[in-house]
Structure 1
Amino acid sequence: MSDKFFQLVKRKSPIALVVTGYLLAVISNAPKPWVWFVADWPFRAIRAIAEMVDDAGQGALMT
């Protein structure tokens, strides 16, 4: 991932946050022995992202 993307996440750009949410969804659906160390962190992060983005962004997170 590029530095520009991380800057957008840091600035809480809705698009960057939604992309991050999708990546977290992939991580949360990985085989459980592989992701034991992240526990429920992806779900908590997705909830936090949903609170930061507008209605359009929330719709994108829920699809």
Structure 2
Amino acid sequence: MLAPASLREVHPLGKSPVITDGGLTLAESGAIIEYLVEGYGNGVSSLPTGAGTRRYLRASKLK
């Protein structure tokens, strides 16, 4: 099934979920959640405190 034209205007591959905040467009749910929590969560982080664990979780979203 092809994405509607309105979604393809926001994301060329027609992926969802997708958000646009200012000039930034994100189209992966994990990245969206992390961005929203860290940008609008009043200092709350969605990631564990250990640097190694944070790197692992961020890298796992890229697979």
Please identify the structure whose Cα radius of gyration is greater: 2
Alignment TM-score, normalising by the size of structure 1: 0.28
More strand by share: 2
TM score, norm. by length of structure 2: 0.28
Structure 1 or 2: more helix by fraction:
1
**Higher RCO structure (Cα 8 Å, ≥6 apart):** 1
